[in-house]
Every structure is written in C-alpha cells, then in structure tokens.
C-alpha cells in the first residue's frame, strides 16, 4: 500500500510513525506545546533521532474549550514551524493539521507541505476538498461530527464502526470524483465518540483497513486512556504504547504520536512478530 507524495511513493508495508509538533499554547497535552524556533528545532531533531518517518504540525488546538485562533495567527504559527523544518530536516514528509482551505493552500504553495490533515473531513470548510484537489497533495480524511466545541454532544450511534465507515466511504467517493487520489483514513478517535465507542473502533480497526487506504491511528495520550486509567495526559504514555500496539496488530499504517521512540519500538516489535508467524 502506497501514497504518492509529490512524486515520492511512501510505502506502508511497514507502518510509519508521524511525530506531532504543536505550535500552540493550549494543546491538551502540555508536553507537546512547542513555541519558538529553538524549541521547534530541538523537537524535530529529537524526533528524527528517535525514528519518526513524518511530522504533523498544528497551529490550532482542537480540544474542547480551546480558544479561537484567527486564520492569520494560525498560519503565522505554522509558517514559523515550517521554516524550521525546511532548515533542519528538509527531506521529511510534512503534514499540516488544519481544517481551513486558505491556510492549507498557503502552507503548500509557500512551504511545499506534502499532506493536509483535516480534522473536519471537509465539513468545517466547504472549500477544503477542491483546494486539496487543485494542490494535488495527499489528504488525511478524519471523521468528526460537529465542531470541537460541540462534538461530544454528538455521540449517538447505533453501530459506531459501521456508521463511521459509511460516512468516510461516501466522502472518499466524492473526493475521488474531484481527483483526490492519495487519501489516508482516520477514524477520529476522541472526536464525537465516547470512551466506549473509541475502544469499539480500535478493536474493529481492521474493518477500516478493508477500505483499501492507509489507516492513521491517533490515540496518543487521549481521553480514552487517561479516563480509563484514572491518570493525567502526562501519565498516559504507557497506555498510549499499549493501544498503539493493538492498532498495529489490527492493521494501522500510521501512528500519530507525541512520543516517537516508544511508537517506533512498537512498530519494530509488532512487525517482527508478524514476520515470525507468517
């Protein structure tokens, strides 16, 4: 399974680790907040050393209750990080976490961003899909209902896995019609899902893999971990690593994480186990 990133094929026969760089003051996990050129450069270089295959940069916190960020400020934060990326790690595939089409366009045209990671899956900005199609970049299609402010009021599902897959499949059909060919599927753990629904989707992650596209698992330090264990996001690394291993065993192609080395180790170990039992 591959996606085309500006003429380079990324092969997911071995899963990839996507390191998170949040250039925000209010992301839900304080340890991920990275402000200033030196801090960004240090985080990127550490991720490279620890085994990241790609990086995802976000300038707008999507946690419930986070402050509004205007498009100009979001782009300014992203541009600062992207300039550092191009200085210290120019070859790494870069994803930008934004739901705004204009911000996405500027990041691609001005900084050569490879992937747009849209938490809204096209629902928060109606111009996003046509923008991605015109830019010919890869696209992370995530499932969410409502907005970050309202999503946890919209968790009514009869069968969460089936309904999320149906919604994503419809959107993939529409994206294909626009000419977007390189699509990564993200079930949207934590976005308009209860803790129990998140665990159901994780157990059934193989059903998402049957869609025939790389599946991204974004489980890192999320509510389903720290609420279940009675800990804080800061104490949720062991739980994250456990769930990442389950996601890999169920077929995930990408782990989106705050902590690169444990995820890279999980990829190596699960891959070794799968090769041993073939």
Catalytic residues: 222, 256
**Which residue in this structure is represented by tokens 């199609």?**
133
Beta-carbon contacts of 11 under 8 Å, excluding residues fewer than 6 positions away, are 1, 2
User: Beta strands 8-11 and 2-5: pairing type?
Assistant: antiparallel
Query: Residues, the chain, total?
Result: 278
Is the separation of the CB atoms in 240 and 265 below 8 Å?
A: no
The alpha carbon dihedral of 231, 232, 234, 240 has a sign of positive
d(CA 47, CA 50): 5
CB 249, CB 206: distance < 8 Å = no
């Amino acid at each position: 399974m591959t996606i085309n990133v500006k003429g380079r094929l990324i092969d997911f026969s071995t899963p990839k680790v996507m390191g998170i760089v949040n250039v925000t003051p209010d992301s839900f996990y304080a340890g991920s907040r990275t402000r200033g050129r030196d801090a960004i450069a240090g985080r990127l270089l550490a991720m490279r050393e620890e085994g990241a295959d790609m990086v995802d940069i976000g300038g707008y916190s999507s946690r419930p209750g986070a402050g509004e960020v205007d498009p100009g400020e979001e782009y300014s934060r992203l541009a600062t990080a992207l300039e550092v990326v191009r200085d210290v790690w120019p070859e790494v595939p870069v994803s930008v976490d934004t739901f705004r089409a204009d911000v996405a366009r500027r990041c691609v045209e001005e900084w050569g961003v490879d992937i747009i990671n849209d938490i809204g899956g096209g629902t928060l900005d109606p111009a996003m899909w046509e923008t991605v199609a015109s830019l010919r970049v890869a696209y992370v299609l995530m499932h969410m209902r409502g907005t970050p402010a309202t999503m946890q009021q919209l968790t009514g599902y009869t069968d969460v896995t089936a309904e999320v897959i149906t919604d994503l499949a419809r959107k993939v059909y529409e994206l294909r019609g626009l000419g977007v060919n390189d699509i990564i599927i993200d079930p949207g753990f934590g976005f308009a899902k209860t803790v129990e629904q998140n665990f159901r989707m994780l157990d059934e992650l193989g059903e998402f893999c049957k869609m025939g596209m790389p599946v991204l698992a974004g489980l890192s330090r999320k509510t389903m971990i720290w609420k279940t264990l009675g800990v804080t996001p800061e104490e949720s690394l062991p739980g994250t690593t456990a769930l990442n291993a389950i996601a890999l065993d169920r077929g995930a192609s990408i782990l989106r994480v705050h902590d690169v080395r444990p995820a890279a180790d999980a990829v190596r170990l699960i891959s070794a186990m799968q090769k041993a039992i073939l």
